[in-house]
Amino acid sequence: MGLIADTIPRRRIHYGDFECDVPGESQALLLEDFARMIGIEVDVAWQEDNGWVVLQVPDSERAPGGAIELAHESHYAPPLELLDHLNGLLAGEQRFFAVGVAGDEAVVLGTRDDAHVLAEGGVTVWDAARRHAHALGELYRVFERYARPQLAMCTHCYSDDEIAHYQQVPLRELAGGPARRLLWETGDHWQSTDVYRHFLPRLVELHEAGMHDLYDGHFDEVLAYHRVATWSADERRALDRVYSARASGVW
């Protein structure tokens, strides 16, 4: 990480693999480290029973509502949700951003110019596209708990060959007309909510990539039919991250 150290003062670099060996406690320590880098006093607490890490900034005038809750989880990359929150507390040109080179990753506190210098030198700076790809990967990981069952699809709408295709095709290879037909399904035409959740990461990926929906708002209607607001916190968060990552970028 020579280029990073040559570009950014050491006190503004946080090296680490960001894997939380003790979810909750490790995250709390990470929060405190980042806050210390920007000179902000924070109160950090982690609640083992509730599964949350809570960051509260006591200075309400500087950071109104400055609180964040994160689920206990291992970070296989810098926790971008946390960086976005802390960047909202910063004034001036400096921002936290995540970088990586040769398989190593770090969080640095720098300026837009610093980010450009690092990128030109071959260091990966987590831009919006990379953030979006990471969020999609997390979406697949969270929803992989829903295995594909024996499908019982409408035989008036689908032929035996089509049903066999849906039964066998790897999720990430579902594409074209077959994928569009699932995207256009109504909420009440799915075998079950769990089957819908099994296919959902691929449908989200294709929808985000520009596959046309049946009509504006249809995708949200199907999610609402399957009571997305009642799903587990990690599932709802994974969905939110996909839709917010593309716009968040680094700055």
Q: Could you report the per-residue pLDDT of 55-102, keeping only the tens digit for each?
A: 555 555 554 445 555 555 555 456 666 677 677 667 778 888 888 766
SS3 content of the chain, % helix, strand, coil (to 5): 50, 15, 40
Q: How many CA atoms lie within 13 A of 92 on its CB side?
A: 8
Question: Residue 79 and residue 77: Cα distance in Å, rounded?
Answer: 6
Residue pair 15/1 in contact (Cβ under 8 Å)? The answer is yes
Sheet holding 13-15, edge to edge: 13-15, 104-110, 95-101, 124-125
pLDDT number for residue 78: 63
Among all chains, which residue has been given the structure tokens 């708990």?
Answer: 145
34 CB burial (10 A radius; 0-12, 13-18, 19+): buried
Given a cut of 70, the residues of the chain with pLDDT beneath it are 1, 16-28, 41-42, 44-82, 85, 88-89, 101-104, 127-131, 244-251
What is the structure's pLDDT at 8?
80
